[in-house]
Structure 1
Amino acid sequence: MRVIDKVAWLWLRDGQILSTRSRGKDTYYLPGGKREPGESDVQTLVREIAEELSVDIVAASAVHAGTYQAQAHGHPDGVLVRMTCYTADHAGTPTASSEIEEVRWLGYADRDLVSPVDRIIFADLHRSGRLR
């Protein structure tokens, strides 16, 4: 079974979570992306968030918030995505850049708009009272 290894940033505010939608897509994803060879989780997080949102993650503040796995959205059966999630402080205001078309705050009621692995994360955050 093939596994896509991704790292994501969880930024929760007022019971909502920051999500992104890529150009030409209709599904939202947590900001982040695939690890490059030799990168640590935090290095991936810093690079991907800078590329996608023009935000500087404070690497020393990154805290592992969970690792989740589900069928990869848009891939054939047998392809999983493993999402390693971090909370972290940042500098800057998130703005869509690179391949990102839209940045949006989503709540638990918006879970049908996100990828399968993000739905699992939304459910976990909702159970813990962090996502409304």
Structure 2
Amino acid sequence: MTGSGSGTAPLDSVGWVCVRDGQLLAVRTRGRDAFYLPGGKLEPGEDGPQALARELAEELGLTAAPAALAASEPFVIEDEAHGQGGRRLRMTCYTGAAQGEPVPGREIAELAWLTADGAGRCAPALRRVLDRLVAEGRVRRA
């Protein structure tokens, strides 16, 4: 591994994959220049679905049952953690259901529904998620 993050444990996080009409929901937090999947880091004592349910409520005002998120088939993306000096990110991505319509929470500056042509606006891990979803035919190319 190269970069100043080499030798450091990867950041573990969770992300929510929400696709509608061939577009992927992404968020941009205040003070950041790239889009990410909704989600974040686990708090002590949380498992992935519990952390994601909490993050969806905080970031987007959505209600999600951890059991519904756990029932989905998560996949893991590893890439550079955007803005973290070369540190790696390990993000477990869930696709379970949430209730409500997403609205930006206090830390979210912007929501976007992205197709593959929006990849240039995304953090590295989100670009990998987009590539996967396009290859699976779930997200449109443009």
Runs of 4+ in 1 over 6 A off after TM superposition: none
Give the aligned partner of residue 46 of structure 1.
53
The 3-state SS of whatever aligns with 1:67 is: strand
- Aligned AA for 1:50? A
Aligned residue for 2:4? none
Mapped to 2, the partners of 1:18 and 1:68 lie a distance apart of: 17
Partner in structure 2 of residue 113 of structure 1? 121
- Identity of aligned pairs, percent? 40
Deviation at 1:25, TM superposition (A): 1.9
**TM-score of the superposed pair, with normalisation by structure 2:** 0.88
Q: Is 2:22 the partner of 1:10?
A: no
| Corresponding position: 1:101 with 2:109 | yes
Question: Which structure 2 residue ranges, 5 or more long, are not aligned?
Answer: 1-7
Residue of structure 2 equivalent to 1:71: 80
TM-score (norm 1): 0.95
Higher strand share: 1
DSSP 3-state at the match of 2:73: strand
Aligned residues: 131
Q: How far is 1:76 from its partner?
A: 1.5
CA RMSD of aligned residues (A): 1.0
Q: Deviations over 1:39-82 (max 9, x none)?
A: 111100100010000000133322133101001111112x1011
Q: Which runs of 5+ in 1 are unaligned?
A: none
Mapped to 1, the partners of 2:31 and 2:84 lie a distance apart of 17
Q: Distance in 2 between matches of 1:72 and 1:96?
A: 22
Does 2:59 align with 1:59?
no
